[in-house]
Structure 1
Amino acid sequence: MPRFFKRLFKFPSMDFEMAIWEMMSLIIAPKAVFRSIYYHKQQQKTWHRPDPSFTYLLSLFLLLTSLAWGFAYADGAGRMLRIALVFVFGHFLLVSVGVATVAFFLVGRLLGPGVKGLPGRRRGLYNLPGGDGEGREELEFGYCWDVAIRAFVPIWVFLYVVQFLCMPLVGTDHWLSLLLSNTLYAIALNYYFTITFLGYNALPFLHHTELLLLPGAITTILWFASLFGLNLSRHLAPVLWAGARLRKDV
C-alpha cells in the first residue's frame, strides 16, 4: 500500500485504460481480470497493483451517479452534496476499506495452507504451485483492497445505475416490481461474492476459497424469502442510505 499512496497524485503514471478494461471485464468476464493480475505478479513480484486509477475512476462514476440520484430525489443542493459524499466516501471507500481489513485478517488465517478439517482444492485459479522454493507467501492488504474495490463494480452497475433507471418500475407496490427489484439486488450481491471468490482463488497459496461462495447461496435463499412482500428498492435504495429527504417516495 505505500506505493499506492506514493502514486496517489501521479496522474500521468496511472493506467486509466487498464482500469476501464477491468471494469468492463468484471461484468462480462471477471476471470480475465485476475488472470491479468497473475501476469502482473510475474513481472512486479507482488499481487497488489499499486495504481490508484481504478479507485479514482470508480469514485468518479459514483459521483456522477450520485448527481443523478440527487437531481431526481434530493431536496436541495445540500442534500445532493451529502448524497455525493456518502456514495463515494461512505458506500465505496469506507465499505471497501472495511471489507479489505476483514479479509486481510481472516482470509489468510482461515483459508491459508495448513487449515485442518476443510476439504482440499486445487491451488489457485491457474492450478499453479504455491511458490515452492520461493519462500512463504502472505496475503497483502493491498491485494485485499484490490479485490474489494473490483467487487464493488457490479454493485455500482446494478444498484446505482440500473436500479436508478428502473426506479419507476421497481418502486411501485406491484409484485412484479418487487420481483424485479429484489432480483437486481440478488444479481449484484452474487456478482460481488463471485468476484471476491475469483480474486482470492487466484492466489495459489490460499486453499478452500470456494467457501467464499457460501454468502451467495445465503443471498439466493434470502432473495426467495423476500419475494413474499419486501421490496428492497423501497427500503434499501442507495439514496435512502445517504439519509436524504426525498421529493417523492422511492
Structure 2
Amino acid sequence: MNRQLPLEVYWLGRVDYDLAWTLQNQIADEIRRGLRPATLLLLEHSHVFTIGRRGSRAHILWDDVECTRRQVILRDVDRGGDVTYHGPGQLVGYPILPLAQTGWEGDRLPQTDFIGYLRRLEDTLIALLDTYGVNAFRREGLTGVWVNLSLPGGSSLPAKIASIGVKVDRFGISRHGFALNITPNMEYWNGIIPCGLEGVRMTSLAELIAPPPTMIEAAAAIGPIFARIFNFEPSLLIDGQPLLQSLTVIHGS
C-alpha cells in the first residue's frame, strides 16, 4: 500500500444488505478504473445471516419459520469464512481498497499480502477498542478480535467481539470487511454457530462498558484509526446518503 493516498470514509446508516453489496461492487469498479479513491463504508444492517465460501447451512440453527419470525434474511456471499450475523447495533465496515500494485491482475493476491491485510483490520479494531478502555486481542489461527470476559471466581473466558471476512478480486480490490458488536441484540447469535466455531462466546461493547458509544460515534472514531494503520491521508466522516441515493436512482429501486 502506498503511503498517504486519499481515503473516503462514508457513514451510510442502516442499509439493506443487498443494496450495500451492489454499492461495494460499483465502488470497486470505479476504483479499478481510476475514478474513485480507496473507500471505507461504515454502516449497520437489518437482521441477516451471511454464509461465506467455506460456510455451511448446517451452522444456521434456526429454521426458516424462526428466521421469518425474527425477520432474518439469509444470504450466500463470496467472502471468506463461515456463517456470521449482521444486525442493528453492529458497526459494519466495508473497506474497498486497491491492495495490489497498479496494473496487477491475477488469480489471487499473494498470501502474505492477504494475511497482512487481515492483521491490519484486526489492528484497527483493537486500537478502536483501546480508546474505550477495552483490552482486545487476536487469537492464533482465528481471524477476528477477542476480549476476556471475567467469570465468578476470578477466572476469565475469551469472547469474540468482532468478526472479519473479506474478498479480494482478480484486480486486487477488496470487498466485505469487519463487523464490531456495539449494542446488538445478542439473542440473534443463538441462531447460528458463529464462524463455524462450536461453543464460541460472542460479546459486545454494551456488555463491557457503560455507556457504550453510539453507532455514529464509533464510526467517527474508527475512520482516523483506519487511515493511520493503513497509511492513508486522514479523512473526515462523509454523509453517505447522496451516494446511496445515486445508486438507488441508477437501479430504479
TM-score (norm 1): 0.28
More strand by share: 2
- Structure with greater proportional helix content: 1
Choose 1 or 2 for highest CA Rg.
1
